[in-house]
Amino acid sequence: MSEMRKMRAAAAAVAVTMLLAGCVEGEDAAAGGSQGTTLRLDYAYYNPASLVLRDQKWLETELADKNVTVTWQLSAGSNKANEALRGDAVDVGSTAGAAALVARANGSPIKTIWRRPG
């Protein structure tokens, strides 16, 4: 398998993991509504997967026919991602493991998104 195909497969797996996690605002709304849904994601220079997904617009392409709009917000660090999650500014944020652990220990209701392939 070529390196490009491996990279696309990995990015697709990340995208599917995000979507399967149920982090979309308004997920309980009736399907097929004309209003649509917005998936709010952060991207960060310390998270290469988010940079690739944002640059290649793979999520926007995959979700366009489902009436889902994808918006991106730059995260300047794990603490800012945690603040955005707590403040309901993003639906999915990326943090370092220690930052997520500390936030959860302090009572933030964040969830870790991970799905082991295979």
Phi, psi of 15 (to 5 degrees): -60, -45
Q: Is 28 a residue whose pLDDT tops 60?
A: no
pLDDT tens digits, 2-13: 665 655 555 555
Amino acid 112: pLDDT: 78
Longest dimension (CA), the chain: 44
CA distance 44 to 93: 9
CA distance 83 to 89: 8
Q: Which one is predicted more confidently, 36 or 29?
A: 36
53: buried, middle or exposed (CB in 10 Å: 19+, 13-18, 0-12)? buried
